[in-house]
Structure 1
Amino acid sequence: MGTGPAGNASARTGFTRIGVTGHRAIPVAALPSVRSGIRRQLSDGGVRAISSLAAGADQLFADIALDSGIPVTAVIPGMDHEAHLDDDAARSVYRRILSSCADRVDLPLEPTHEQAYFAAGRWIVDHCDLLVAVWDGRPARGLGGTGDVVAYAHRQGVPVAIMWPRGIERD
């Protein structure tokens, strides 16, 4: 694993920090592969997880981490994040996961939702040793999308593990 801009967390703290970025909508056909890939990345001992708890991949990652007994740090974008989740079910899952997180980082207010999401993605990259990307490999559909966060991770030298099965198209 690379060290990224935050340095080698394993040497300093005895654990590996794994962050997540990913799509809100994951096709049902992709879910088994995505879930098993996330579990595989989180299976080493001494792991900590970092997620912005956005609907979709971020919540799935945090849920798997918590179910595995892995502490999660919630990175809250600088906006009314909960109000911008897709529906009541996503807000309910967000509240449930947030109440189980070991740590919470509230980011400063950003001018737009897109800038807030991108700031959260950059914060996660800057504080992880590995980025899990639930990503179809296509460009971001808006500023701060998965493709932008993956590109930022590459520029920062943070390793990226892509979780997406071949042949599955995103809506």
Structure 2
Amino acid sequence: MTITGTRSTSHRELTWFADVFTSYLAPFADDEAQFYIGGAVGIDSLSLLWLAGNSKSRITVVAPGTVEQQPADARQAISRCRNRIANVVELGADELRTPAFHARNRWMVDHSDMVIGFPAEGPEGTSGTWQTINYSAQKGKPRLIVPI
């Protein structure tokens, strides 16, 4: 499964996200599950921390360039969960711009059977979260969308 979501999470308490992940990730987080998570801040880091502490599922972190290019908070989350991360995939993009993030998102969807998206509340937009959800739809893959 691919997890995608907004980087803007400061509008909610951490306990709120823990409750949401318990409701929407836990049912899929068994010993056989494989989760692909982008190595960014926001939902990426929060879901990584939650899965590492609350499941035995395999976790793969996917960075558009390298982990070292990710924001400090994201690198810290990856470091904290290193013993629970099965794989780190660095796609090697030179510039971390929209095309690199979209390529990372497509890579994760292409390796998944399902996408769980946590977009910002409001109308569907052109964010990377919605790009990932819509790409999954084009591929005919199931999507669970949980606006936050």
Per-residue Cα deviation, 1:102-144 (whole angstroms, up to 9, x for no partner): 1122214255521111111001110111101011352124xxx
Q: Is the 8 A contact 2:114 2:141 kept in 1?
A: yes
Q: In structure 2, what is the equivalent of residue 91 of structure 1?
A: 75
Separation in structure 2 between the aligned mates of residue 33 and residue 139 of structure 1, nearest angstrom: 25
Tell me which moved more, 123-132 or 45-54: 45-54
TM-score between both structures, scaled by the size of structure 1: 0.70
| Higher relative contact order, chain-length normalized (CA < 8 Å, sep 6+) | 1
Listed as ranges, the gaps of 5+ residues in structure 1 are 1-17, 166-171
Matched, 1:139 2:131: no
Q: Is the 8 A contact 2:67 2:75 kept in 1?
A: no
Q: In structure 1, what is the equivalent of residue 56 of structure 2?
A: 69
Q: In structure 2, what is the equivalent of residue 14 of structure 1?
A: none
Shift of 1:75: 1.2
Q: Is the 8 A contact 2:36 2:59 kept in 1?
A: yes
TM-aligned CA distance change 1:28 to 1:162, over 3 Å: same
Look up the equivalent residue of 1:69 and give its one-letter code.
Answer: K
TM-aligned CA distance change 1:32 to 1:63, over 3 Å: closer
Of 134, 137, 140, the match for 1:154: 137
The Cα RMSD (Å) is 2.4
Corresponding residue SS for 1:158: coil
TM-aligned CA distance change 1:47 to 1:98, over 3 Å: same
Listed as ranges, the gaps of 5+ residues in structure 2 are none
Per-residue Cα deviation, 1:33-70 (whole angstroms, up to 9, x for no partner): 53233333434441111111211111222222222121
Separation in structure 1 between the aligned mates of residue 100 and residue 52 of structure 2, nearest angstrom: 25
Separation in structure 2 between the aligned mates of residue 104 and residue 84 of structure 1, nearest angstrom: 13
Shift of 1:31: 2.6
Look up the equivalent residue of 1:160 and give its one-letter code.
Answer: R
TM-aligned CA distance change 1:84 to 1:64, over 3 Å: closer
Q: Is the 8 A contact 2:31 2:56 kept in 1?
A: no
Look up the equivalent residue of 1:125 and give its one-letter code.
Answer: V
Shift of 1:32: 5.1
Aligned residues: 142
Of 15, 19, 39, the match for 2:2: 19
CA radius of gyration, larger in: 1
State the identity as a percent: 25
TM-score between both structures, scaled by the size of structure 2: 0.80
Shift of 1:22: 0.5
